[in-house]
């Protein structure tokens, strides 16, 4: 007999409508709580774009937390369905709760496309199902929903819609998402989540169940080098976007490329040890990345 769906609380998506300034304040608080993941250079953007970006980030961050919640898959999927229904209502003019009040205003103010938000939720459903990916192209398809959508919304905020820039943005966002997967390999394994394509595991004679075994270490290191090399090619393809975007955004994008590639190199150096010691940038390393980005370096 199935267990009744348990509610996963997400009050930011519910409740009574709130004044717009309060709605944006809630989004800003979420951004500040995840300051490590929210680019410092975005503070150089104009106030309206910065607020709109905070609303986008807060929506994505909170929905992602629902998808990753410590709850059965069917409960997380039901919660994502409720978020999608609330999103549809918000975009139709009846937002409820602070996140969707701010997001609906940002979409209207900047004429943002709605499709990326639904693509994002579709990717989060993959997370809630603990989906595994058979081949590399399947993993890239997941990244198109979970990462590229954010890049496209950032470009839309700046009225950028030329295909070449969008392709470069997609490559950069996918590279960042993949880097995070290799960086978080140990954490993901602990919660039963594996992003490495099954075809790559077979290529290196590995199985999900034995990835943490001592006997698997040399093959896992070779596998991670393989994935890091493929990811770095995407970073290289994405560098173009740094050179064709407005100055404040280009600073952020250069910092993103430099920081992402630094993490990727750390993963490659650590190999199998990344399972036990997640690489991250120190304060000094982040300062160097920021300085290099301001000086115009992009990789």
Please, which residues have CB within 8 angstroms of residue 228's CB and are 6 or more apart in sequence?
182, 264, 265, 267, 268
Q: Which CATH class is domain 132-299?
A: mainly alpha
The single residue listed with the structure tokens 């993949």 is: 178
Q: Which CATH class is domain 11-112?
A: mainly alpha
The single residue listed with the structure tokens 């944006």 is: 24
| 196-199: Cβ within 8 A, 24+ apart | 196/223, 196/227, 197/133, 197/134, 197/135, 197/136, 197/138, 197/139, 198/132, 198/133, 198/134, 198/135, 199/134, 199/135, 199/136
Judge whether 178 and 143 are in contact, CB under 8 Å: yes
Mean pLDDT of the 26-42 span: 70
Q: Please check the confidence at residue 269 and state whether its pLDDT lies above 90.
A: yes
Distance CA 284, CA 235 (A): 23
The share of the chain scoring above pLDDT 90, in percent, equals 68
CA nearest 83: which of 111, 63, 104?
Answer: 63
The b/e string for 144-182 (b: 16+ C-beta within 10 A; e otherwise) is: bbbbbbbbbbbbbbeebeeeebbebbbbbbbbbbbbbbb
Mean pLDDT of the 113-126 span: 96
pLDDT of residue 194: 94
Tokens representing 131 are 């989906």
CA nearest 111: which of 52, 23, 186, 25?
Answer: 52
What are the boundaries of each domain within the chain? 11-112, 132-299
Distance CA 162, CA 243 (A): 14
132-299: same fold as 11-112?
yes
Q: Please check the confidence at residue 43 and state whether its pLDDT lies above 90.
A: no
Q: Please check the confidence at residue 7 and state whether its pLDDT lies above 60.
A: no
Distance CA 215, CA 217 (A): 6
Please, which residues have CB within 8 angstroms of residue 188's CB and are 6 or more apart in sequence?
181, 194, 195
Predicted TM-score (pTM) of this structure: 0.89
**pLDDT tens-digit readout, 196-211:** 999 999 999 999 999 9
Q: Calculate the average pLDDT of the chain.
A: 89
Helix axes 217-238, 247-270, angle to 10 degrees: 160
Mean pLDDT of the 146-163 span: 93
Q: Please check the confidence at residue 176 and state whether its pLDDT lies above 70.
A: yes
């Amino acid at each position: 007999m199935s267990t009744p769906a348990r509610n996963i609380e997400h009050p930011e998506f519910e409740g009574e409508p709130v004044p717009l300034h309060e709605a944006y304040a809630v989004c800003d608080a979420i951004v500040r709580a995840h300051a490590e993941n929210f680019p410092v250079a975005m503070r150089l953007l104009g106030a309206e774009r910065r607020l709109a970006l905070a609303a986008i980030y807060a929506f994505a961050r909170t929905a992602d937390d629902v998808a990753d919640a410590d709850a059965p898959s069917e409960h997380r999927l039901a919660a994502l369905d409720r978020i999608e229904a609330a999103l549809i209502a918000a975009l139709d003019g009846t937002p409820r709760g602070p996140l969707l009040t701010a997001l609906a205003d940002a979409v209207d103010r900047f004429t943002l496309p709605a499709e990326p938000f639904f693509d994002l939720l579709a990717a989060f459903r993959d997370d809630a199902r603990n989906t595994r990916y058979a081949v590399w192209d399947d993993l890239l398809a997941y990244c198109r929903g979970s990462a590229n959508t954010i890049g496209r919304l950032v470009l839309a905020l700046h009225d950028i819609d030329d295909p070449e820039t969008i392709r470069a943005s997609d490559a950069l966002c996918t590279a960042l998402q993949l880097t995070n997967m290799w960086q978080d390999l140990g954490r993901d394994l602990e919660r039963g989540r594996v992003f490495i394509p099954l075809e790559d595991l077979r290529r290196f004679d590995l199985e999900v169940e034995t990835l943490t075994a001592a006997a698997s270490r040399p093959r896992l290191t070779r596998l991670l080098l393989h994935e890091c090399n493929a990811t770095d090619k995407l970073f290289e393809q994405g560098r173009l976007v740094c050179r064709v975007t407005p100055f404040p955004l280009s600073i952020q994008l250069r910092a993103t490329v430099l920081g992402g590639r630094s993490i990727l190199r750390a993963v490659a150096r650590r190999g199998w040890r990344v399972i036990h010691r997640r690489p991250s940038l120190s304060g000094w390393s982040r300062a160097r990345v920021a300085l290099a980005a301001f000086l115009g370096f992009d990789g």
